[in-house]
């Protein structure tokens, strides 16, 4: 327990931890502020204004059509008649083409839009957890702190596991608190600048489960950063692998799959798996294929990437990286 | 006296694409309780590998080690609380203050926080304890390293080059500290290149070369075992030193000429000198065994004495002379 307390203190004391945590929180605050400022409450005034605008546009459109019919009739029998439809058949606009809803200012619908906000929060916190996790153990290896600690606590696996536990518990606490504040903030934004309609207990439960998946994503990212930096005994190892994965596997593989005209390139790209994990599924579509449905229209081939498939992949990568880090910690000399 | 530290037949082999290198080749060492024990060896001889192996940082390929009667590395967790150590250059996280660094170690090791202030006072860092370690000089980092080793009030203190980077005052303070710790009952294993320091403060020494122990015992014993091989020779006034030296060299002696004397370095049997010179009507007025210092013994035992015109490589060891001329 004393080692765990010391490691928690060490993690919290690090400037890098503070910097990245504050940075992540500032990004989230900026997102929330942006959503607040760009959305407005749809009250009677806004509805009246939108209805008036729609009516005005409708009348302007009707007047324009009438004028066009007159112009058309005037040029019949001349060379300019080609500029208008034959027999001046110009359809008059319908009032339903000017739906007042389309003239409403953007409004934040908690039920429809909050899921994207949870994904945003998960992505920002996962990135911070990855970098903090990598730096936490990488700097220890690089500075000789790990060797000093092992002189005090010569149980290597216990030391590395305790460090990982301190990181994961810290990341859990942060994510739970941020998720609670994030939910409260967007409930407030929806109340002030949108609507909370339709938020049944089932929807809240679904959002709760989504936030749990966000927590799992953050913890996985933290553990991966930690494991990679521990394997390379340097922070740069984890950051290098992350950059390598982005450049080679995402941009490189993405480009190659595009050229090769692959059926479902999303299958090989990490961001789509993250979306599948967070939204429970992602449906990849191949528009080169055409499947006629009962109405005779062309439908693309689809492949559903599920959260179970994404979760299995995450666990496999996690076990591989953290397992390798533990194994090397146990076996390799510390020089 | 009880052995606090025992090493027998320790072996460590490094394998790489360039081949196999034996860092430790059956190394032995015994450190008895309450001693200040000097651990000497040239660069690359296996000193740090020995200390790292002893402290569980490196896995040995063979041999046996025990600290405070407990086999290590198997029982290292049980004795780690009684062993304070610094290995090689002091390494700390630069953004923490020395107080933070020590208090984190104290927390990790279950040591009372009051010890932090006590050791900072002891090593002279009390007034700089709230400054970041990255602003420290090498000598200050060295003091911090010693403080970290003393934090848990160890029974065995292992210090690798503790005087590295210290100013002359600091070296003297460190010497006094070692002596005081030893007098308080602590056993100190001290690895150093400053042979004068070792000679001043160590009760016993072990010398390692090419991964093997080449000498051990008290400083006096080690010096005595190598003191008789060199003699200083003075001749009667008016006798040409060069002629006498050439006579002896012709018989295989290693002669160094001084202003009014010469030294025969490999004089296993000094009578041979007087006999050869007397046969040529040259008479010796003084024949004195020269007193070896630890440095010359070290250089001889480890085969690392500089040779004019040669650049000795780190792992290069000269063949040491076996026996002496005239025996």
Which pLDDT tens digit goes with each residue over B28-63? 999 999 889 999 888 888 898 999 999 999 999 999
Shared domain for A98 and A174, answered yes or no, is: no
What percent of chain A has a predicted confidence (pLDDT) above 90? 60
CB contact A5 to B (< 8 Å): yes
Q: Show the tokens assigned to B170.
A: 């600091």
Shared domain for B201 and B245, answered yes or no, is: no
Q: Cβ of B91 and A148 within 8 Å?
A: yes
Q: What is the C-alpha end-to-end distance of chain A, expressed in Å? A: 28
Q: Cβ of B96 and A148 within 8 Å?
A: no
User: Residue B323: its pLDDT value, please?
Assistant: 45
According to DSSP, residue B325 is labeled: B
Task: Choose the final residue of a domain: A81, A103, A125.
Answer: A103
Task: Choose the final residue of a domain: B174, B204, B224.
Answer: B224
pLDDT per position as a tens digit, A211-249: 999 999 999 999 999 999 999 988 888 888 888 888 887
Neighbours of B32 (CB within 10 A): 15
Shared domain for A95 and A114, answered yes or no, is: no
Measured between beta carbons, the chain B residues lying within 8 angstroms of A154 are: 55-56, 73, 76-77, 80
Task: Choose the final residue of a domain: B203, B224, B245.
Answer: B224
Task: Choose the final residue of a domain: B177, B204, B224.
Answer: B224
Shared domain for A113 and A228, answered yes or no, is: yes
pLDDT per position as a tens digit, B58-86: 999 999 999 999 999 999 999 999 999 98
Shared domain for A184 and A210, answered yes or no, is: yes
Q: Cβ of B73 and A140 within 8 Å?
A: no
Q: Quick one: average pLDDT of B93-99?
A: 91
Shared domain for B129 and B246, answered yes or no, is: no
Measured between beta carbons, the chain B residues lying within 8 angstroms of A143 are: 91-94
Q: How many domains does chain A have?
A: 2
How many Å lie between the alpha carbon of B169 and the closest alpha carbon of chain A?
Answer: 27
Q: Cβ of A143 and B93 within 8 Å?
A: yes
CB contact B157 to A (< 8 Å): no
ipTM (interface pTM): 0.76
Shared domain for B240 and B99, answered yes or no, is: no
Q: Which residue of A has its CA nearest to B105?
A: A149
According to DSSP, residue A16 is labeled: H
Shared domain for B15 and B162, answered yes or no, is: yes
Residue B156 belongs to some domain of the structure: yes
Shared domain for B137 and B17, answered yes or no, is: yes
Q: Is the pLDDT of residue B321 over 50?
A: no
Distance CA B65, CA B72 (A): 6
Identify the helix (H) or strand (E) that includes residue A231: helix A201-232
Between CA A298 and CA A303, with CA A300 as vertex, the angle to 5 degrees is 155
Residue B130 belongs to some domain of the structure: yes
User: Residue B312: its pLDDT value, please?
Assistant: 64
Q: Quick one: average pLDDT of A67-72?
A: 89
Of A135-144, A208-217, A313-322, B317-326, minimum mean pLDDT range? B317-326
| Enclosing domain of residue A238 | 2-39+107-331
| CATH number of residue B169's parent domain | 3.40.50.300
Q: Show the tokens assigned to A141.
A: 């290896």
CB contact A131 to B (< 8 Å): no
User: Residue B236: its pLDDT value, please?
Assistant: 87
User: Residue A165: its pLDDT value, please?
Assistant: 97
Q: How many domains does chain B have?
A: 2
Q: Cβ of B93 and A333 within 8 Å?
A: no
Shared domain for B111 and B248, answered yes or no, is: no
Shared domain for B37 and B68, answered yes or no, is: yes
Distance CA B211, CA B12 (A): 9
Shared domain for A92 and A32, answered yes or no, is: no
Q: Cβ of B108 and A14 within 8 Å?
A: no
Strand partners, A131: none
Shared domain for A258 and A277, answered yes or no, is: yes
Shared domain for B138 and B212, answered yes or no, is: yes
Number of Cβ pairs closer than 8 Å across A and B?
76
Shared domain for B171 and B246, answered yes or no, is: no
| CATH number of residue B244's parent domain | 3.30.70
Q: Where are the alpha helices (DSSP H) in chain B?
A: 47-54, 76-79, 98-109, 114-122, 138-150, 168-183, 195-201, 219-224, 241-250, 271-279, 294-302
Q: Is the pLDDT of residue B302 over 70?
A: yes
| Enclosing domain of residue B245 | 231-289
Strand partners, B40: B207
- Packed helices A156-193 and A145-152: angle between N→C axes, nearest 10 degrees: 120
Which residue did the predictor score with more confidence, B70 or B307?
Answer: B70
Q: Quick one: average pLDDT of B262-283?
A: 86
Which residue did the predictor score with more confidence, B271 or B308?
Answer: B271
């Amino acid at each position: 327990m004393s080692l765990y307390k010391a490691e928690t203190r060490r993690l919290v004391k690090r400037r890098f931890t503070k910097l990245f945590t504050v940075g992540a929180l500032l990004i989230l605050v900026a997102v929330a502020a942006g959503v607040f400022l760009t959305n407005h409450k749809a009250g009677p005034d806004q509805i009246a204004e939108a209805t008036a605008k729609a009516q005005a546009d409708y009348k302007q459109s009707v007047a324009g059509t009438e004028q066009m019919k007159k112009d058309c009739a005037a040029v019949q029998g001349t060379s300019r008649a080609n500029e208008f439809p034959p027999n001046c058949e110009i359809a008059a606009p319908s009032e339903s083409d000017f739906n007042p809803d389309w003239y409403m200012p953007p409004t934040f619908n908690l039920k429809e839009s909050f899921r994207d906000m949870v994904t945003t929060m998960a992505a920002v916190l996962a990135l911070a957890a990855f970098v903090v996790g990598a730096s936490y153990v990488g700097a220890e290896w690089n500075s000789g702190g790990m060797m000093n600690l092992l002189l005090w606590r010569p149980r290597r696996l216990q030391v590395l596991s305790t460090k990982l536990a301190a990181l994961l518990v810290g990341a859990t606490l942060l994510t739970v608190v941020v998720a609670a504040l994030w939910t409260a903030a967007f409930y407030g934004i929806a109340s002030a600048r949108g609507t909370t309609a339709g938020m049944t207990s089932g929807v809240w439960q679904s959002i709760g489960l989504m936030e749990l998946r966000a927590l799992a994503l953050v913890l996985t990212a933290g553990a991966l950063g930690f494991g990679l930096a521990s394997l390379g005994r340097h922070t740069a190892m984890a950051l290098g692998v992350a950059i390598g994965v982005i450049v080679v596997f995402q941009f490189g593989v993405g480009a190659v799959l595009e050229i090769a005209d692959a059926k479902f390139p999303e299958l090989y790209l990490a961001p789509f798996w993250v979306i599948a994990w967070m939204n429970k599924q992602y449906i990849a579509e191949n528009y080169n294929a055409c499947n006629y449905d009962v109405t005779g229209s062309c439908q693309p081939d689809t492949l559903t990437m599920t959260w179970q498939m994404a979760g299995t992949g995450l666990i496999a990568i996690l076990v591989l990286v953290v397992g390798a880090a533990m194994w090397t910690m146990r076996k390799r000399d510390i020089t | 006296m009880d052995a606090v530290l025992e090493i027998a037949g320790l072996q460590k082999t490094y394998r790489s694409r360039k081949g196999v290198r034996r860092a430790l080749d059956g190394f032995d060492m015994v450190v008895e309780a309450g001693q200040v024990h000097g651990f000497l060896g040239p660069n690359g001889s296996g000193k740090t590998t020995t200390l790292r192996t002893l402290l569980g940082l490196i896995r040995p390929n063979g041999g046996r080690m025990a600290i405070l009667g407990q086999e290590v590395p198997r029982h290292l967790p049980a004795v780690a609380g009684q062993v304070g150590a610094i290995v090689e250059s002091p390494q700390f996280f630069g953004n923490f203050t020395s107080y933070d660094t020590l208090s984190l170690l104290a927390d990790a090791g279950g040591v009372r926080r009051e010890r932090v202030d006590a050791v900072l006072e002891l090593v002279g860092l009390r007034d700089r304890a709230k400054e970041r370690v990255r602003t420290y000089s090498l000598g200050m980092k060295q003091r911090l390293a010693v403080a970290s080793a003393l934090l848990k009030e160890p029974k065995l203190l292992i210090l690798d080059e503790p005087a590295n980077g210290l100013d002359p005052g600091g070296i003297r303070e460190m010497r006094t500290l070692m002596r005081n710790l030893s007098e308080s009952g602590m056993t100190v294993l001290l690895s150093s290149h400053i042979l004068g320091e070792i000679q001043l403060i160590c009760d016993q020494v072990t010398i390692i070369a090419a991964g093997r122990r080449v000498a051990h015992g008290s400083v006096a014993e080690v010096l005595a075992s190598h003191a008789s091989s060199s003699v200083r020779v003075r001749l009667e006034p008016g006798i040409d030193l060069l002629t006498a030296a050439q006579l002896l060299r012709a018989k295989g002696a290693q002669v160094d000429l001084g202003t009014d004397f010469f030294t025969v370095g490999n004089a296993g049997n000094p009578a041979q000198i007087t006999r050869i010179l007397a046969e040529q009507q040259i008479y010796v007025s003084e024949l004195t065994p020269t007193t070896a210092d630890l440095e010359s013994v070290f250089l001889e035992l480890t085969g690392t004495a500089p040779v004019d015109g040669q650049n000795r490589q780190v792992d290069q060891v000269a063949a040491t002379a076996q026996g002496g001329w005239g025996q």
